[in-house]
Amino acid sequence: MVNTGTERPAPPLRGDEREMLRTFLDFHRATLAMKCEGLTDEQLRTQSMPPSTLSLLGLVRHMAEVERTWFRRVIAGESDLPFVWSEKQDYQEAYDATGATRAEAFAAWEAEVEEARRIERGAESLDVTGYQPRWGEDVSLRLVMLHLIHEYARHNGHADLLREGIDGVVGA
């Protein structure tokens, strides 16, 4: 992978649970940003293969919705907060980045990441809970952070393949 400027935090080898969760989540956030660096808007909109609309820019938009939902809607209790790209609250709509730009997608994603960080830092502990309507029960901040790490790790695998298909760049 060409190093183009994004720095990923090094997860600690020792530390408390919250520090490790926070750092691993930020590591994966930075990885997604790295996969998108140095590409044009057109390259970022390059779709994987029909019928999928999956693209790097679509992944950024999707993760903005995921951050927004889990931290703001669930943990912060902003249950009426609308999705950014879907009036039907459909995460799949964010993947279709056909008319999207890096500027709008990254502005939304970065704003949601900052809001998520604010919510997490302000939480008394990882045991703070919020209601997840899709599951019909309360979930802990700990689960939310682990779920986001899982989401990013899975989608960063997609980002690896998308980036390699665009310009052959592979790695980290």
- 56 located within any domain: yes
- 2 located within any domain: no
CATH number at residue 156: 1.20.120.450
d(CA 170, CA 90): 31
- 4 located within any domain: no
- 11 located within any domain: no
Residue with token string 């600690």: 12
Tens-digit pLDDT profile for residues 64-91: 999 999 999 999 999 999 999 988 888 8
pLDDT for residue 35: 96
Count the domains in the chain.
1
- 1 located within any domain: no
- 114 located within any domain: yes
- 99 located within any domain: yes
| b/e 98-108 (16+ beta carbons within 10 angstroms → b) | eebebebbbeb
Which domain covers residue 127, as residue numbers?
21-167
Residue 26 tokens, joined: 């930020």
Instruction: Give the number of other CB atoms < 10 A from CB of residue 161.
Output: 13
Instruction: Give the number of other CB atoms < 10 A from CB of residue 88.
Output: 7
- 8 located within any domain: no
Tens-digit pLDDT profile for residues 96-131: 999 999 999 999 999 999 999 999 999 999 999 999
Strands of 43-158 (E only): list them. 129-132, 137-140
Tens-digit pLDDT profile for residues 7-45: 898 888 888 999 999 999 999 999 999 999 999 999 999
